[in-house]
């Protein structure tokens, strides 16, 4: 496979659409400019393409291995990780007080896209450390921060998130892992966690586990959960790494994809842990990490979709197959490149229009993560936090779904060559399939959107976003250059607004009907959001001439005419399909009914 980091498109969105000053005007980012941002993105792209992509297939073929209680990462991973740390890629947006670079989270997310595109399995060794570091920074005591954060940020130690148990997934209120207070202020942790990404490996000398557990005597359910920092190895008073804590790797999962990533079952057997935050307030602390990871998983999907599309396009430009319809590129030839066949071109354009629209969604959300922390006024920070909260399930679900559909489409473009290992498409299909599942399945994201975000604070989050959209659409109707773009976007917005009213009423009157349409509603919300963002991008370049501007306008119009019409069917299912769904109970669904 090949990969060219989409730095030009990233910078286009920042400079031509959002405006670089929205970033550089924030406290702490005054010294950042377009040249510096481009340089860092180009360096990240070079590292990912030259160091991580070449070991991606090997990582998939060999996988992570558990041997005599020790986990070995695939060939090349340790050397690549050493270079990753030396390049400073572990500390991009971390607090300078603990050794971080203090750069925008927007930059972190763009680098995340490149990492995921080139080697998702490798990325996962670094990704949970990033979220774990932010959790420790936000909620841990100063002593824990001083003891653990510098090494985590520097990449000398990595971190994990230990939530899931054999009997307990999304419903964390069912977890059984116990925490027993000790006289010295520590806790003894006992329990088993599964599906722990990077739960054990040989890349670093220590691993910092963030573990959800229930303190002895705590209330049942989610209100009795606490968060604990449990190091794989004890840390001595001088900061050096000591003997092994009572954390054992029981097994590594044998997975469909991301095989180079060590997904572990961990046994905590009287392991020493330290409380992070307050007792029985663990989910509040853990959601700092979980919300970062949900956005990041969406961006993983964007990266996979990008590399799939790039390679499908390259193959389509080279592979000769039959004669294309007129006008043919060379009438004297017996066959034409696949890209000249309309069906292949349509597949490629569906990918490309959604990828670039999805990148606008990712960058828009990423900018607001910086605004929510650094905007000058409390009102601005609150408004940005609302936007991030509303769009988190959209970013996670839309972009992870896009990873799967784009990988499958790319595989289809390759035909039989897409089905064999040599070209890499079948690995992308397998790797991408995890993204709609982990960090809360996309169905869970839909329930979050419908049952929480629509009604949160009287519906403030949605109403504020819809008001901004309405003002933009009204102003943009006057621009003739936006014909074919504003009309479809506005129509989709009307359908979404109507469906939103319907769903809000159902949440109050028929919870089952609301939940039954949640995934369709989330998809409608996502497609409409991307349409609005495409319209904003095109409005921002109105009047500008040049190949890049015309290409953007063409892609936007294609999205409106070939992707957005899906919202018509979604609206109908949401508003009219509740009764038909309600007619089926478990018995009638399985056919176990008597005549």
Environment class of residue 380 by beta-carbon count within 10 Å: exposed (0-12), middle (13-18) or buried (19+)? middle
Preceding omega of 581 cis (within 30 degrees of 0): no
Distance of alpha carbon 282 from alpha carbon 173, whole angstroms: 11
Q: Exposed e or buried b for every residue in 409-442, given b needs 16+ CB within 10 A?
A: bbbebbeeebeeeebbbbbbbbbbbbbbebbbbb
Residues with Cβ within 8 Å of residue 236, at least 6 apart in sequence: 242
Tokens at 278, concatenated: 């307050």
Residue for token pair 């060590």 = 262
Distance of alpha carbon 159 from alpha carbon 130, whole angstroms: 8
Closest to 300 measured CA to CA, from 521, 527, 121: 121
**Residue 483 CB neighbour total at 10 angstroms:** 10
Q: Is 439 a catalytic residue?
A: yes
Distance of alpha carbon 390 from alpha carbon 465, whole angstroms: 9
What's the sign of the alpha-carbon dihedral 549, 554, 555, 559?
positive
Distance of alpha carbon 578 from alpha carbon 512, whole angstroms: 9
Residue of 51, 356, 439, 520 marked catalytic: 439
Distance of alpha carbon 525 from alpha carbon 570, whole angstroms: 10
Tokens at 101, concatenated: 């670079």
Distance of alpha carbon 129 from alpha carbon 81, whole angstroms: 13
DSSP 124-186: HHHHHHHHHHHHHHHHS-HHHHHHHHHHHHHTSEEEEEE--BTTBSS-GGG---EEEE-TTS-
Please check whether residue 536 is in contact with residue 489, taking contact to mean a CB–CB distance below 8 angstroms.
no
Q: Exposed e or buried b for every residue in 274-312, given b needs 16+ CB within 10 A?
A: bbbbebbbbbebbebbbbbbbbbbbbbbbbbbbbbbbbb
Distance of alpha carbon 348 from alpha carbon 357, whole angstroms: 14
Helices (H) and strands (E) in the chain, counts: 21, 11
Environment class of residue 355 by beta-carbon count within 10 Å: exposed (0-12), middle (13-18) or buried (19+)? buried
Tokens at 440, concatenated: 């809360």
Q: Report the DSSP beta bridge partners of residue 226.
A: 213
Q: Report the DSSP beta bridge partners of residue 65.
A: 72
Distance of alpha carbon 177 from alpha carbon 195, whole angstroms: 15
Active site residues: 439
């Amino acid at each position: 496979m090949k990969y060219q980091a989409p730095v030009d498109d990233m910078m286009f969105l920042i400079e031509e659409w959002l405006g670089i000053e929205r970033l550089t005007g924030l406290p702490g980012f005054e010294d950042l400019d377009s040249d510096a941002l481009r340089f860092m993105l180009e360096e990240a792209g070079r590292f990912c393409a030259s160091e991580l992509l070449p070991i991606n297939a090997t990582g998939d073929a060999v996988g992570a291995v558990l041997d005599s209680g020790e986990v070995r990462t695939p060939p090349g991973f340790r050397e690549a990780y050493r270079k990753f740390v030396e390049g400073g890629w572990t500390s991009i947006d971390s607090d300078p007080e603990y050794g971080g670079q203090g750069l925008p989270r927007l930059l972190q997310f763009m680098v995340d896209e490149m990492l995921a595109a080139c080697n998702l399995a490798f990325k996962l060794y670094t990704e949970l450390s990033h979220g774990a570091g932010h959790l420790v920074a936000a909620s841990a005591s100063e002593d824990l921060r001083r003891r653990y954060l510098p090494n985590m940020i520097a990449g000398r130690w990595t971190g994990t998130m230990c939530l899931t148990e054999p009997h307990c997934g999304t419903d964390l209120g069912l977890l059984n892992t116990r925490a027993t207070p000790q006289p010295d202020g520590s806790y003894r942790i006992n329990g088993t966690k599964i599906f722990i990404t990077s739960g054990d490996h040989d890349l670093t000398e220590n691993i910092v586990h963030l573990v959800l557990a229930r303190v002895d005597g705590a209330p049942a359910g989610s209100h009795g959960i606490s968060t604990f920092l449990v190091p794989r190895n004890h840390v001595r008073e001088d900061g050096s790494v000591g003997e092994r804590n009572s954390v054992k790797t029981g097994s590594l999962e044998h997975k469909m994809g991301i095989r180079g990533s060590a997904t572990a079952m961990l046994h905590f057997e009287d392991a020493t842990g330290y409380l992070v935050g307050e007792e029985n307030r663990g989910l509040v602390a853990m959601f700092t990490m979980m919300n970062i990871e949900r956005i990041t998983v969406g961006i993983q999907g964007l990266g996979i979709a990008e590399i799939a599309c790039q390679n499908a396009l390259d193959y389509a430009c080279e592979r000769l197959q039959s004669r294309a319809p007129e006008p043919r590129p060379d009438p004297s030839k017996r066959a034409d490149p696949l890209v000249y066949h309309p069906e292949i071109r349509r597949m490629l354009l569906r990918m490309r229009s959604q990828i670039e629209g999805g990148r606008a969604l990712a960058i828009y959300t990423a900018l607001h993560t910086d605004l929510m922390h650094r905007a000058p006024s409390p009102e601005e920070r609150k408004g940005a936090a609302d936007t991030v909260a509303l769009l988190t399930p959209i970013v996670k679900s839309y972009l992870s779904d896009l990873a799967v559909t784009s990988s499958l489409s790319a595989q289809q473009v390759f035909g039989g060559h897409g089905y064999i290992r040599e070209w890499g498409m079948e690995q992308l299909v397998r790797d991408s399939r995890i993204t709609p599942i982990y960090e809360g399945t996309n169905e869970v994201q839909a329930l979050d959107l419908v049952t929480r975000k629509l009604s949160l604070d009287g519906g403030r989050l949605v109403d504020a976003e819809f008001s901004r959209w309405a003002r933009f659409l009204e102003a943009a109707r006057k621009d003739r250059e936006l014909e074919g773009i504003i009309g479809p976007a506005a129509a989709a917005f009307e359908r979404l607004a109507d469906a939103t009213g319907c769903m809000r009423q159902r949440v109050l009157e028929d919870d089952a009907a609301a939940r039954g349409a949640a995934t369709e509603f989330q998809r409608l919300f996502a497609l409409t959001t991307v349409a609005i963002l495409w319209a904003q991008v095109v409005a921002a370049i109105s009047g500008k001439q040049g190949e890049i501007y015309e290409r953007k306008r063409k892609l936007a119009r294609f999205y409106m005419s070939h992707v957005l019409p899906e919202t018509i069917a979604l609206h109908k299912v949401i508003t009219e399909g509740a009764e038909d769904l309600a007619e089926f109970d478990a018995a009638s669904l399985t056919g176990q009914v008597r005549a």
